[in-house]
């Protein structure tokens, strides 16, 4: 078999592994309502099918990188893919919600083992002159995996069942294991000892657990609650423990030499911003499409997949070009484009054409691709050859943490904007109801309650159905029930004017619905503006994420050590 074919099959094995792991961070979201119907339970509990995976993934990713460097990346990768495949199979056969959540946590640990190992495995498979191209493809596949999750999840759930979002991983995992065992050579960090840094492992695991858990639960408790502050405080204490053990340890998990590399630090911070941006874009857009534009979850998922389409094109181009000319300009341009696209989403409204959304998402995807591949490539180029593995763990951890931070911040901002805009609209509409001289007091009271209900429903953008539902029938029914309790004389008087009362009530309800919808759109508009502006610091980090060099200057990437199988 030719060297070219062996490399292609090796890369296929790597791609299959990390595609599954990244896909499962988002594919589950659209199936949560179906799982709720199947298992029962509260929305809060069912959300741990998603949160359990993301929490375990963030907690273990750096530790997994270190273990792979110490004991062999091929071995660790095969173990991770095997564990991921097995838990996927078992998850599809779950008999209870608790069993499914437990398996998703284990699956998240397996995903944390897989993802950071893929970059060092890739760099040992291909010669250094191909690293820019291959990491560009890696970035494209990474973007596709994350962005296509909702669409693929919707297709599988709608046409088969929710179990198939897990079963689909099984053949991919088996094929990845076979190809890895046959074609990939073993590699490790020869400078790393075999002793495990227990203090460092405890420190980083505790820090990531408490910080990530606090960010996941902040919507339940609030930013200033004692629970949130205690969780964040515990995370800081464990982080200090980690720093102390790395400073004093003989064989630290995270070599301090990496922290001294300015370009690596800025690349990691850039990926943190990108992780937040990608999650913010996906979350805000999906709820805007379903809540404001009335799309089904499946259609919204398909529209969101346009981010992946844009990312594929730009990643494949930016990877090799950044290896030749430097990553900083590509990465900075990508963040500007993504931030601009996010900002432009504020121009959408409930009646916007789908094409208007698609164009914006395509542009955002191009920006993500321009940033992701060059920054990952820079992180590889600018660290010592034997530290590619642990550096991959740090950058992937930064991206994962960015996603969690992004969700916590953007949901808080969206809820604040919704409360503000809908509160003002509700007050205005309530005043209009009370000032209406045509309505009898009975109808005014029922109508005021209906307006308050519409306001409350609209202020919950993360749940429920589209705000376009017509509450007129419910109001008519409530008025009839209230009228039936009136004294006979008042009932007769009301009946004589009921047609006019209901006509006026329906008119005011229609105005209320339109007013609330406009207020909700304004809440989303302000949040999209905030999300776009939130990316501005990433421009500076991106510009400092690589060394400036002349076009003819080659990218200095040493060939990592490779061990024979």
Rg over alpha carbons for the chain, rounded to the nearest Å, is 27
pLDDT tens, position by position, 429-476: 777 666 666 666 766 666 666 666 655 655 455 444 444 445 555 555
Q: What is the pLDDT of residue 354?
A: 92
End-to-end alpha carbon distance in the chain: 17
Q: Does domain 1-192 have CATH number 1.20.1250.20?
A: yes
Q: pLDDT tens digits for 317-329?
A: 776 777 677 788 8
Over residues 112-131, the mean pLDDT reads 82
Percent of the chain with pLDDT over 70: 80
DSSP state of 463: S
Q: What is the mean pLDDT of residues 212-233?
A: 84
Give pLDDT tens digits for 249-283: 677 777 777 778 888 889 889 988 988 888 888 88
Burial of 259 (0-12, 13-18, 19+ CB in 10 A): middle
Residue 565 pLDDT: 34
417 pLDDT more than 80: yes
Most confident of 18-27, 90-99, 458-467, 548-557: 90-99
pLDDT at 237 over 80: yes
Residues 354-359, mean pLDDT to the nearest whole number? 94
- Which of the two residues, 109 and 434, has the higher pLDDT score? 109
pLDDT one-digit tens code per residue, 135-146:
777 777 777 777
Phi, psi of 464, rounded to the nearest 5 degrees: 80, -170
Band of residue 350 on the pLDDT scale cut at 50, 70, 90: confident
* Distances 76 to 30, 115, 384, 531 between C-alpha atoms, Å: 31, 11, 21, 37
Which residue did the predictor score with more confidence, 36 or 438?
Answer: 36
Whether residue 368 is predicted with pLDDT greater than 70 in this model: the reply is yes
- Distance between CA atoms of residues 495 and 126, nearest Å: 83
d(CA 473, CA 304): 35
- For the segment 301-308, the average pLDDT, to the nearest whole number, is 84
**Residue 525, pLDDT above cutoff 70:** yes
Cβ atoms of 204 and 67 closer than 8 Å: no
Contacts 24+ apart (CB under 8 A), 205-208: 205/59, 205/60, 205/63, 205/238, 206/234, 206/235, 206/237, 206/238, 206/241, 207/235, 207/236, 207/238, 207/239, 207/241, 207/242, 208/58, 208/59, 208/62, 208/235, 208/397, 208/401
The pLDDT, as a whole number, for residue 25 is 76
Contacts of residue 307, defined as CB under 8 A and 6 or more positions apart, other chains included, come to 143, 147, 278, 281, 282, 361, 362, 364, 365, 368
Query: Which tokens belong to 449?
Result: 């309650």
Summarised one tens digit per residue, pLDDT across range 166-206 is 998 999 999 999 999 988 888 776 666 677 777 878 888 88
CB 263 within 8 A of CB 239: no
Is residue 556's pLDDT more than 60?
no
Question: What's this model's pTM, rounded to 2 decimal places?
Answer: 0.77
How confident is the model over 24-49, as a mean pLDDT?
75
Specify the DSSP class assigned to residue 203: H
The answer to whether 165 touches 349, Cβ cutoff 8 Å, is no
Q: Report how far residue 251's alpha carbon sits from residue 479's, in angstroms, rounded to the nearest whole number.
A: 75
Domain residue spans of the chain = 1-192, 417-524
Q: Give whole-number Cα distances, 533 to 150, 344, 527, 538, in Å.
A: 26, 11, 10, 10
């Amino acid at each position: 078999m030719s060297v070219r074919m062996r490399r292609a099959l090796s890369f296929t094995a790597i791609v299959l592994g990390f595609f599954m792991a990244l896909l499962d961070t988002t594919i589950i979201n659209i199936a949560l309502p179906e799982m709720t119907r199947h298992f029962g339970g509260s929305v809060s509990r069912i959300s741990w099918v998603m949160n359990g995976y993301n929490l375990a993934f963030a907690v273990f990713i750096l530790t997994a990188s270190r273990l792979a460097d110490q004991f062999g990346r091929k071995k660790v990768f095969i173990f991770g893919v095997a564990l991921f495949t097995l838990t996927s199979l078992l998850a599809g056969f779950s008999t209870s919600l608790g069993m499914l959540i437990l398996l998703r946590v284990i699956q998240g640990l397996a995903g944390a083992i897989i993802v950071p190992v893929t970059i060092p495995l890739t760099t040992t498979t291909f010669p250094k002159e191909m690293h820019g191209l291959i990491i560009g493809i890696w970035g494209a596949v990474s973007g596709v995996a994350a962005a296509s999750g909702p669409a693929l999840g919707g297709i599988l759930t709608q046409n088969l069942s929710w179990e198939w979002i897990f079963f689909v991983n099984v053949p991919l995992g088996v094929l990845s294991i076979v190809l890895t065992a046959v074609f990939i050579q073993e590699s490790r960090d020869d400078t790393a000892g075999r002793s495990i840094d227990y203090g460092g492992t405890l420190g980083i695991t505790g820090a990531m657990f408490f910080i990530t858990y606090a960010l996941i639960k902040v919507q339940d408790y609030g930013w200033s609650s004692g629970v949130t502050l205690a969780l964040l405080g515990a995370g800081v204490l464990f982080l200090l423990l980690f720093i102390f053990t790395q400073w004093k340890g003989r064989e630290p998990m995270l070599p301090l030499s990496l922290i001294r590399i300015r370009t690596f630090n800025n690349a990691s911070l850039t990926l943190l911003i990108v992780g937040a941006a990608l999650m913010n874009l996906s979350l805000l857009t999906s709820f805007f499409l379903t809540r404001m534009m009335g799309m089904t979850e499946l259609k919204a998922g398909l529209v969101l997949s346009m981010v992946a389409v844009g990312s594929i094109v730009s990643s494949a181009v930016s990877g090799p070009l950044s290896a030749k000319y430097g990553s900083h300009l590509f990465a900075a341009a990508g963040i500007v484009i993504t931030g601009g696209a996010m900002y432009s989403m504020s121009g959408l409204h409930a009646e916007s054409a789908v094409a208007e959304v698609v164009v914006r998402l395509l542009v955002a995807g191009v920006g993500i691709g321009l940033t992701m591949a060059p920054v990952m490539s820079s992180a590889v180029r600018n660290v010592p050859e034997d530290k590619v593995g642990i550096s991959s763990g740090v950058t992937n951890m930064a991206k994962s943490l960015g996603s969690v931070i992004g969700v916590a911040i953007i949901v808080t901002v969206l809820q604040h904007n919704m409360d503000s805009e809908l509160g003002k609209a509700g007050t205005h509409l309530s005043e209009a109801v009370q000032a209406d001289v045509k309505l009898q007091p009975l109808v005014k009271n029922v109508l005021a309650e209906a307006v308050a209900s519409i306001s409350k429903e609209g202020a919950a953008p993360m749940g429920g159905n589209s705000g376009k539902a017509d509450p007129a029938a419910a109001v008519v029914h409530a008025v009839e029930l209230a009228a039936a309790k009136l004294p006979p004389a008042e009932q007769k008087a009301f009946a004589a004017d009921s047609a006019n009362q209901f006509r006026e009530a329906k008119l005011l309800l229609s105005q209320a619905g339109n007013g609330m919808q406009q207020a909700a759109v304004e809440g989303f508009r302000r949040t999209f503006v905030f999300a776009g502006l939130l990316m501005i610091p990433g421009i500076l980090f991106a510009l400092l994420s690589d060394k400036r060099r002349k076009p003819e200057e080659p990218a200095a990437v040493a060939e990592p050590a490779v061990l024979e199988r």
